[in-house]
Amino acid sequence: MEAAIPPSCRVRRNPRSAFKRGTKVERAYEWKKEIPFNRRGESVETWTVKVEGRSASFEIEACYGKRLDFGSIKREWPFQREIDFAREKIRYFERDGDLVKASSCPVCSRGIQDTVRLVRICNVDYLQCKGCTHVYASVFPSPDLMERYYRENAVGDDYYLNPEEIELRLKEIYAPKARWILETYEKLFGKKPSTILDIGAGSGHFLYACKQLGMKVSGMELDRAFVAWCKQQFGIELCESNERLQGKTFDIVCSFNVIEHTADPHAFVSDYKSFMHEGSMAVLETPKANSFTTWIQQVFPDEPRGHLMPFEHSHLFTDGSLATLLYVNGLAVRRIWYFGQDMAELILRIGSELKGESGTLLSRLFNPLQEAIDVSHHSDCMLVAATPWR
């Protein structure tokens, strides 16, 4: 299961330095779910983990589906452009070549020999751990390379920096998430939250949505272009490191599509906990490996897009591997929201293959068919709220 890496790339054979802050304990974590047959909108599930002969169960409120005006959101972002842009990113990392070769599962530490190859995308293997079901790239950029890439906005990603789309994005994407998160906190703690920290805040749209709901907001972001844009458009000053926030805690600590980029997920969750107090809630959104989109993308291994993105998405979590990561770090999933864009992926792929226009089909089919995928737990995205359990 060796990945085909260009000869110019400097592949580090021992990645321990990349994981030096992580919790490295090799154990088998087995998760089982009890799910109601008739579920629509939301239901209560029971998740049970068994490890070393002991078990623990958690009641989790699961929510399904998120309606989206997909035609409006994507009207200026053609399908082929996404693929070309993904290839440009891959070439950037291959040219730099400071890469690390994985030797064990970043979640449960089982050796790379205890994996199966899920898929190969652009000559990079994505391996699935037999112990915790986590999916990870066999080769990934060093932490230093990733920091340079994001701090310098190395490939010039200005997709989110369109001032004409602020209100559209707030309405369709960020405000619904903000309301769900605040509602979840109030359900769990019986009071309204007042402070929130967004780690990897990007362009700041989510924090602005929270600010409009009366929250006191803070955020961290490496990308200087995003930091400047957020201050100019929203009047929110993001921190480029955690030094200005040391010693501070927040009611909610969140991140959106960040953890899959990190070298060490355990260290990332440890950073979360350093900003949490006893009444804090952790929120993570991340792509989902066991999804319909993953199966679609396996058919097109040389056309990277979505969440199977070598050198950028080093991890793909399943429900079980994310629950394991949080559990090991003393956090338990309390509420989860399944939603995604799997149906859009299918329609766009078919349209591209047939060289046809996909907009009409997207508008008619996306929401009703995507809901069916979300309810069946096969969506390509999940938003998780967790609280301390020990």
Q: What is the pLDDT of residue 68?
A: 82
Q: pLDDT, tens digit, for every residue of 21-71?
A: 444 556 788 899 999 887 777 899 999 999 888 999 999 999 999 888 866
Residue 12 has pLDDT above 50, yes or no: no
User: Residue 34 CB: number of other CB atoms within 10 A?
Assistant: 11
Q: What is the pTM of this model?
A: 0.90
User: Residue 54 CB: number of other CB atoms within 10 A?
Assistant: 7
Q: What is the pLDDT of residue 215?
A: 97
Mean pLDDT of the chain: 88
Q: What is the pLDDT of residue 154?
A: 62
Q: What is the pLDDT of residue 5?
A: 35
Q: Quote the CA–CA distance of 260 and 110 in Å, as a whole number.
A: 19
What mean pLDDT comes out for the span 138-163? 82
Q: What is the pLDDT of residue 217?
A: 98
What are the respective helix, strand and coil percentages of the chain, to the nearest 5?
Answer: 40, 30, 35
Q: What is the pLDDT of residue 241?
A: 84
Q: pLDDT, tens digit, for every residue of 322-332?
A: 999 999 999 99
Q: Quote the CA–CA distance of 387 and 258 in Å, as a whole number.
A: 19
Residue 263 has pLDDT above 80, yes or no: yes
Residue 288 has pLDDT above 90, yes or no: yes
The stretches of the chain forming alpha helices (DSSP H) are 70-73, 79-96, 143-151, 166-169, 175-189, 205-212, 224-234, 265-274, 292-298, 319-328, 342-354, 359-375
More confident residue, 28 or 258: 258
What mean pLDDT comes out for the span 354-377? 85
Residue 137 has pLDDT above 50, yes or no: yes
Q: What is the pLDDT of residue 62?
A: 95
Q: Which of 130-134, 188-192, 241-245 is predicted least confidently?
A: 241-245
Q: Quote the CA–CA distance of 105 and 23 in Å, as a whole number.
A: 12
Q: What is the pLDDT of residue 160?
A: 74
Looking at the chain, the whole-number percentage of residues with pLDDT higher than 90 is: 67
Length of the chain equals: 390
Residue 18 has pLDDT above 80, yes or no: no
Residue 9 has pLDDT above 60, yes or no: no
Looking at the chain, the whole-number percentage of residues with pLDDT higher than 70 is: 89
Q: What is the pLDDT of residue 24?
A: 52
Q: What is the pLDDT of residue 20?
A: 37
Listing DSSP states for 59-94 in one string gives EEEEEE-----HHHHTTTS-HHHHHHHHHHHHHHHH
8 A C-beta contact, residue 374 and residue 339: yes
Positive/negative CA dihedral, 367, 369, 371, 373: negative
8 A C-beta contact, residue 385 and residue 181: yes
Q: Where are the domains of the chain?
A: 23-94+162-388
Q: What is the pLDDT of residue 354?
A: 86
Residue 210 has pLDDT above 80, yes or no: yes
The CATH fold of domain 23-94+162-388: Rossmann fold (3.40.50)
Residue with tokens 């949080």: 326
Q: What is the pLDDT of residue 173?
A: 92
Q: What is the pLDDT of residue 203?
A: 92
Q: How far is the CA of 259 from the CAs of 107, 136, 188, in angstroms?
A: 12, 12, 24
Retrieve residue 377's tokens: 């737990």
171 CB-near residues (< 8 Å, 6+ apart): none
Amino acid at 180: W
- Report the interhelical angle of 175-189 vs 205-212 (nearest 10°): 60
Q: Report the side by side order of strands in the sheet with 381-388.
A: 30-34, 42-51, 54-64, 331-339, 381-388, 276-287, 250-256, 195-199, 216-220
What mean pLDDT comes out for the span 202-229? 95
Q: pLDDT, tens digit, for every residue of 95-112?
A: 999 999 999 999 999 999
- The secondary structure of residue 291, as a DSSP letter, is S
8 A C-beta contact, residue 216 and residue 245: no
Confidence of residue 333 (pLDDT cuts 50, 70, 90): very high
Q: Quote the CA–CA distance of 268 and 260 in Å, as a whole number.
A: 10
User: Residue 158 CB: number of other CB atoms within 10 A?
Assistant: 11
